[in-house]
Chains A and B, each alone.
Chain A
Amino acid sequence: MTDQTGLSGLVDRAALVTSPVVARRVRGLSERAIAWLFITPTMLLLLAINIFPLIWTIRLSFTNYRANRPNATVLDVGLANYQSILTDPDVWAAMTVTARFVFWSILIQTVIGFTLAWLIDKKFRGHGLWTTLILLPMMLSPAVVGNFWTFLYQPQIGLFNYVVAALTGAPASSFQMLAQVPLAPWAIVIVDTWMWTPYVMLICLAGLRSIPDYIYEAAEVDRASPWRQFWSITLPMALPFIMLAVLFRGIENFKMFDMVNLLTGGGPGSTTEMASITLKREAFEKWRTGYSSAFAIILFVTVFGLANIYVKALNRVKSR
């Protein structure tokens, strides 16, 4: 009631300060026109900061333009940039590194995230505190996470090596997570899992809490075992949420840049050089603007295409 009074007071005051000419004009507009009036600024903003750059990027991708050579002649090169990218073994190597990272990080995060959500859903004593603690890593900035995990992985003073040494008996400085070719990709998967599993957990938890209790009660009346309840009720009903979490994490991890850049810079060698790092080097270090525009378009189409296929699958699961 108070709110309504406050609101009507506000409207009255607005009406008082609006000039009669403007008021008459607005009163004459249809609802549709007023709706357009409201959304036009946002549409213009989106066009300016999203759509125009996208169109401009597509245009540049067919040229040899370099942003650091403003005086050079810009030539149309047709599909040469696309052809060059798709036949470049270094690009394919970066795409392979990205695919491996996306696959393993999402697999591990989904398994751990769902397990944590399932445990938290049991509402044991102190589960609120545990939920808050588990959620903490994803609230940190990736730059902070990248920096402090660099210290944690330090072979001589890093806590990670000491913990592994204590558990396995191997000397702490006998392995180097960020410096050894077989370990560096896993080092990144571990950090990403540590940071983003809570996010997967949160979505899964929402899914688990959306399952009505009466379904479980009916299953118990039918003497279904807990295992059967899990496979026949919990998992199928939470599946759309799990798939949603996988979709979000997949898109994010495909674009992964900041954390990898801080942890390894793409090294050792090119072991952890993901597509986004290659793209950044081409665009802002080598200044091959046309080429990197084409690369960005290829990455965009890849993510967009895969996400669309995935969303269709998600819709099929939901409609079951």
Chain B
Amino acid sequence: MKLLQTFALTAAVAAAAAFGASAPAHAEGKTITLCWAAWDPANALVELSKDFTAKTGVNMKFEFVPWPNFADRMLNELNSKGKLCDLMIGDSQWIGGAAENGQYVKLNEFFDKEGIKISDFMPATVAGYAEWPKGSPNYWALPAMGDANGWTYRKDWFARPEIREEFKKKFGRELDVPKTQAELKDIAEFFQKRVIDGKTVYGAAIFTERGSEGITMGVTNALYPFGFKYQNPKKPYDMQGFVNSDDAVKGLEFYKALYKCCTPPGYSNGYMQEGLDAFKSGQVALQMNWFAFFPGLYKDPNVGGDRIGFFVNPGQKEKGSQLGGQGISVVAYSPNRAEALAYIKWFASLDTQKKWWALGGYSCHKGVLNDPNFKNTAPFAADFLVAMDQVVDFWAEPSYAQLLLAMQKRVHDYVVADQGTAKGALDGLIADWTKVFKEDGKL
């Protein structure tokens, strides 16, 4: 009898253990982790992904890292062949390294098999977020979050009659959205240290951050309109006379002048968050920042709604905006590749893309962007289309981090620390970049 009882108990425990292991897996389904930066669009993606879970039963987990540490944390993860992330919404510049080092799954076959047409996505975003080598039909990501560097301004201040009158008297034109970089600086200078509602305000919050990518993303936004080019279009990696052309020198000098004349005191290490803080607290008339933040700013109770306006980075000699944004990739080390690919398939569909835009994400799908009503869906939607039509990206080479850090140093030394000349900084930059390309065997 005792033996029978023991047997029955053992069987019961074994059965409980077996069901205990499989039942939750059935009930909850598999879980995949998506890694991205911690910012407004990430919250929209959490909301959007609930549809994926409802449709497939695959649970979503998210790993969001604040922007200043995003590259460090995630590149570390990729380089150590970590299994934390099944899906990665990585920065556009990572694509070269991630592709060449086998960290992202190549998606061509999958796209063909599932009938996903990359031509359904805006060409600039495909080139920026998905292709490697650039210009080749090799896709390592699906364009996920379109973005460009743009501007916001205090529409309510611009509308005040006494301010408008004074501006017109001083500059001989109406106070309006700037059409050139020079006009932008005029406006910033006009507002610098102006007292509005009893409070001293400043001209512009621009990118000056030293540690990660901040000042480079800001400076390039000024360099492109002045005519800066990364290389000779006819001879890759030939930078002499392009990176340090007279126009590029003027662009860099312009950015320094803008920093010196028109930023709030102590604004020597500011990036996205510092810009948002300065604008939301009513410190500045103009703010340089990524379009990704514009939906949140528009909803802001203090400076949003009728008080805020948006504009595309103004041209000077030509047009140009720094590309932001990211593609979504499947991490090669993921043990859940099938589920991760299923997410990409679901994300690529037009319905999902429409909802993505509605929730605050920037879709890159032509079906969303080419909709005749798209421009009316948000006050910054039309500007977004214009900006995405003129974007230029930083190097996306496997050695992009070395190229970026070299530029961070050269530019910060010149713009913020007042060391040397613009020509000297750009000449030095060519020397640094040449060294990197030589080490990589590209020169």
* A interface residues, Cβ below 8 angstroms from B: 67-71, 90, 153-156, 173, 176, 178-179, 181, 261, 264-271, 281, 284-288
Q: Is B72 an interface residue when CB atoms closer than 8 A count as contact?
A: yes
* Contact residues in A for B414 (Cβ distance below 8 Å): 269
Residue contact A173 to B210, C-beta cutoff 8 Å? no
Q: Is the CB of A154 within 8 A of B266?
A: yes
Nearest-neighbour CB distance to chain A for B134, whole angstroms, equals 19
Check if B405 sits within 8 Å of A265, measured CB to CB: no
Whole-angstrom CA separation of A185 from B264 in the bound complex: 21
Min distance, Cβ A259 to any Cβ of chain B, angstroms = 14
B412 touches A (CB below 8 Å): yes
Number of B residues whose C-beta is below 8 Å from A? 33
Q: Which of A71, A156, A261, A267 contacts B416 (CB 8 A)?
A: A267
B199 to chain A, nearest CB (A): 11
A261 to B212, CA, bound (A): 11
**A268: which of B76, B100, B268 is its contact (CB, 8 Å)?**
B268
Which chain B residues lie closer than 8 Å to A69 at the CB level?
100-101, 398
Is there a chain A Cβ closer than 8 Å to B40's Cβ?
no
Q: A179-B265, A267-B210, A268-B412 are in contact. List 7 more A-B contacts (CB 8 A).
A: A71-B101, A176-B268, A178-B269, A179-B267, A265-B211, A267-B417, A286-B401
Residue pair A268, B75 in contact (C-beta under 8 Å): no
Contact B101 A268 (CB under 8 A): no
B382-413 interface mask toward A, CB cutoff 8 Å, 1 = contact, 0 = none?
Answer: 00000000000000001001100100010011
Inter-chain contact B405/A286, CB cutoff 8 Å: yes
Task: State A70–B78 Cα separation when bound (angstroms).
Answer: 11
- Whole-angstrom CA separation of A84 from B71 in the bound complex: 27
Contacts A67-B79, A287-B79 given; does A176 touch B412 at CB 8 Å? no
A285: chain B residues at CB < 8 Å are: 71-72, 401, 405
Q: Is the CB of A270 within 8 A of B401?
A: no
User: Smallest distance from the beta carbon of A218 to chain B beta carbons, Å?
Assistant: 57
Q: Does B51 contact A (CB under 8 A)?
A: no
- Tell me the total A-B contact number using a CB cutoff of 8 A: 90
Closest to A280 in B: B72
Q: CA separation between A176 and B259, bound complex, in Å?
A: 14
CB contact under 8 A between A71 and B102, given known A267-B417, A285-B401: yes
**B10 contacts chain A at the CB level, 8 A cutoff:** no
CA distance A71 to B97 in the complex (A): 12
Task: Render B40-83 as a binary contact track against A, CB cut-off 8 A, 1 for contact.
Answer: 00000000000000000000000000000001100110111100
Q: Shortest beta-carbon distance, A49 to chain B, in Å? A: 18
User: Are A267 and B268 also in contact (CB < 8 A) when A68-B79, A286-B401 are?
Assistant: yes
Shortest Cβ distance from B98 into A: residue = A68
Given A265-B211, A268-B412, A286-B401, check contact A173 B101 (CB 8 Å): no
Q: Output the residue of A267, A281, A286, A287 with the most chain B CB within 10 A.
A: A267
Q: Across chains A and B, which 7 residue pairs bring their CB atoms closest together, nearest first?
A: A269-B417, A179-B268, A265-B211, A267-B210, A269-B413, A155-B266, A155-B265
Q: Do the beta carbons of B209 and A265 come within 8 Å of each other?
A: yes
Is B231 an interface residue, CB under 8 A from the partner? no
User: In whole angstroms, what is the CA distance A288 to B78 when docked?
Assistant: 16
Given contacts A154-B266, A268-B412, contact A68 B417 (CB under 8 A): no
Q: How many Å lie between the Cα of A265 and that of B267 in the bound state?
A: 14
* B370 proximal to A (CB < 8 A): no
Cβ B265 vs Cβ A176 within 8 A = yes
Q: Report B196 CB to chain A, min CB distance, Å.
A: 15
A178 cross-chain contacts in B, Cβ below 8 A: 266, 268-269
Q: Given A285-B72, A287-B79, A266–B267 Cβ distance below 8 Å?
A: no
Nearest opposing residue in chain A for B415, CB measure: A269
Within 8 A of A (CB), among B238-271: 264-269
Q: Return chain A residues, CB-CB under 8 Å to B419.
A: 181, 269
Determine the distance from Cα of A284 to Cα of B78 in the docked complex, in whole angstroms. 12
CB distance from A80 to the nearest CB of B (A): 11
Measured CA separation A251–B80 after assembly (Å): 31
Q: How far is the CB of A279 from chain B (nearest CB, A)?
A: 13
Output the least CB separation between A289 and chain B (Å).
10
CA distance A291 to B79 in the complex (A): 17
Are A270's CB and B417's CB within 8 A?
yes
